[in-house]
C-alpha cells in the first residue's frame, strides 16, 4: 500500500510542479482532463487490492435454522388449543398445540381390543393343535378297526361264513376312514403351522395387532405437538378451530431454534478469488451501530440457481442481458450474551484473506465508518 501511496503522491507533486511551479506546460481543460484520467487510474490500485484481498459485502443477513410445524396425522383434525405464546422462549418437549384427539383415542381403544383378541387367539391355536392330534388318533383307530374287519370278512366270504355285501360295506368303510385320517393329518399340519407362525417367539397375529396399537398410539401422541428444540414461535397464525392435517399444503407455524445464528453474505464472484474457510471476518450489524463483531469464514457456497437446470422437455433458454449470480459465504461469529441477534438482521461484513495486509487498515476504517454511519442512516425521523 505504501508503494501505491508513494506513486499517487509522486504523480500529484509532478502535476503541481509541471503546471504550477515550473510552468513547463500551460494548464488548460485538455491537460486537466488528461491529468485527472491518469490520476483516477492510479487510485484503482487501492480498489483492486481491497476488492480481491479484503472483500466487503453490504448484502448480509443473520440466519437461524427454522423448523416447519406440520401436524403428522392420518386425517384432517380440528385444532382445539394453542399452548404457546409468540416470541416467548420454550424448551424442547414443551407442548405447543393440542388437536382434537377423539377419533385417535377411539382408534387406540379399538387396537387395544384387537390386541387382546389376538392374544386369546394365540392361546386357542395351541388348543387347536391338541384337538387336531386327538382327531388324528381317533381317525387312525377307526381305520385300524375297519381294516381288521375288512380282513376278517374277506376270509369268511369264500367259506360261506359271511355275506358279500358285508365285505363290501367294510371295504367302503376302510376307504372312508383312510380319507378321514388324511384330513385329520392335514388339519394337524394347518394347526401346527398356525402355532409356528412366530417372530422371536411371538405369534404374528399378536405382533400385527401390537403394531396397529403402536401406530394408533403414535397418531394419538401426535395430537399434542411438542417443541422440537429450544426456541420460539415468531409469528403465531394458528388459531383454535382451524382444521389441520393431510389436506393442508403448508405448516401451521415456523419454529425458530435457539441454535447460534450464522451470517450469510453474498459477494460478486470475482471478489472471492482468495476467500477460504477460516479467514478473519469483521461484522457490522445494523442493530448495533458503532460496534464491530468478529467472526470467521465457515464455508463458501459454490453454487447459484443459474447453474441449475430442472429436468424437463424444454431446451435451455438464455436471455441477455443477465447479471452474473452472486456467491454466498457462510460466516460464524461470537455475539455477546447481552445482545439479541434477530433472525434476518442486516449487516455488512469484511473478509480479510491475509494477502496485501498493508491495505487492511483501509477496509477496517471502511467498515467502521459504515457501522458509525448507522447512527444517522437512513436520514429519516
* Dihedral, CA of residue 97, residue 100, residue 106 and residue 108, to nearest 10: -10
Same domain, 267 and 380: yes
- pLDDT above 90 (res 174): no
Same domain, 246 and 263: no
Tell me if 218 is assigned to some domain.
no
Same domain, 109 and 200: yes
Same domain, 252 and 349: no
Q: For the chain, what is the mean pLDDT?
A: 82
The count of domains in the chain is 4
- pLDDT above 90 (res 70): no
Q: Which three three-digit cell numbers place residue 44?
A: 484503482
CA distances from 102 to 72, 214, 224 (A): 16, 17, 13
Average pLDDT over residues 354-379: 88
Tell me if 21 is assigned to some domain.
yes
Tell me if 213 is assigned to some domain.
no
Tell me if 76 is assigned to some domain.
yes
Secondary structure (3-state) at 362: helix
Tell me if 151 is assigned to some domain.
yes
Same domain, 296 and 379: yes
What is the band of 2 on the pLDDT scale with cuts at 50, 70, 90?
Answer: very low
Same domain, 122 and 203: yes
Same domain, 263 and 377: yes
Enclosing domain of residue 73: 67-100+223-257
Task: Evaluate whether 229 touches 257 at the Cβ level (below 8 Å).
Answer: yes
What is the band of 148 on the pLDDT scale with cuts at 50, 70, 90?
Answer: confident
pTM over 0.75: no
Q: Is the dihedral of CA 14, 19, 23, 26 positive or negative?
A: positive
Same domain, 2 and 136: no
Same domain, 177 and 117: yes
Average pLDDT over residues 297-304: 91
Same domain, 83 and 227: yes
- pLDDT above 60 (res 108): yes
Q: In sequence order, what are the residues at sequence separation of 6 or more whose Cβ sits closer than 8 angstroms to the Cβ of residue 35?
A: 15, 19
Same domain, 227 and 84: yes
Amino acid at each position: 500500500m505504501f508503494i501505491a501511496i508513494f506513486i499517487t503522491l509522486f504523480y500529484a507533486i509532478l502535476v503541481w510542479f509541471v503546471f504550477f511551479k515550473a510552468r513547463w506546460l500551460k494548464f488548460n481543460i485538455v491537460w486537466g482532463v488528461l491529468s485527472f484520467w491518469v490520476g483516477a487510474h492510479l487510485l484503482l490500485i487501492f480498489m483492486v487490492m481491497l476488492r480481491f484481498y479484503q472483500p466487503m459485502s453490504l448484502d448480509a443477513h443473520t440466519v437461524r435454522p427454522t423448523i416447519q410445524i406440520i401436524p403428522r396425522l392420518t386425517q384432517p383434525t380440528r385444532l382445539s388449543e394453542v399452548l404457546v405464546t409468540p416470541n416467548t422462549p420454550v424448551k424442547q418437549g414443551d407442548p405447543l398445540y393440542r388437536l382434537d384427539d377423539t377419533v385417535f383415542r377411539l382408534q387406540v381403544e379399538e387396537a387395544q381390543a384387537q390386541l387382546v383378541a389376538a392374544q386369546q387367539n394365540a392361546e386357542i391355536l395351541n388348543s387347536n393343535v391338541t384337538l387336531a392330534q386327538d382327531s388324528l388318533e381317533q381317525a387312525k383307530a377307526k381305520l385300524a378297526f375297519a381294516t381288521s374287519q375288512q380282513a376278517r370278512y374277506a376270509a369268511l366270504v369264500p367259506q360261506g361264513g359271511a355275506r358279500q355285501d358285508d365285505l363290501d360295506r367294510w371295504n367302503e368303510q376302510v376307504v372312508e376312514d383312510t380319507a378321514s385320517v388324511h384330513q385329520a393329518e392335514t388339519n394337524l399340519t394347518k394347526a401346527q403351522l398356525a402355532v409356528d407362525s412366530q417372530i422371536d417367539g411371538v405369534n404374528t397375529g399378536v405382533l400385527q395387532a401390537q403394531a396397529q396399537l403402536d401406530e394408533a398410539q403414535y397418531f394419538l401422541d401426535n395430537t399434542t405437538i411438542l417443541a422440537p428444540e429450544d426456541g420460539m414461535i415468531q409469528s403465531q397464525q394458528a388459531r383454535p378451530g382451524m382444521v389441520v392435517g393431510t389436506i393442508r399444503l403448508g405448516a401451521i407455524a415456523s419454529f425458530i431454534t435457539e441454535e447460534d445464528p450464522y451470517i450469510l453474505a453474498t459477494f460478486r464472484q470475482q471478489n472471492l478469488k482468495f476467500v477460504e474457510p477460516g479467514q478473519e471476518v469483521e461484522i457490522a450489524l445494523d442493530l448495533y451501530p458503532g460496534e464491530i463483531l468478529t467472526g470467521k469464514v465457515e464455508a463458501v457456497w459454490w453454487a447459484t440457481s443459474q447453474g441449475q437446470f430442472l429436468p424437463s422437455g424444454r431446451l435451455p433458454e438464455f436471455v441477455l442481458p443477465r447479471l452474473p449470480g452472486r456467491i454466498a459465504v457462510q460466516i460464524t461469529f461470537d455475539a455477546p450474551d447481552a445482545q439479541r441477534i434477530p433472525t434476518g438482521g442486516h449487516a455488512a461484513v469484511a473478509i480479510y484473506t491475509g494477502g496485501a495486509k498493508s491495505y487492511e487498515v483501509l477496509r477496517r476504517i471502511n467498515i467502521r465508518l459504515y457501522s458509525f454511519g448507522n447512527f444517522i442512516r437512513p436520514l429519516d425521523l
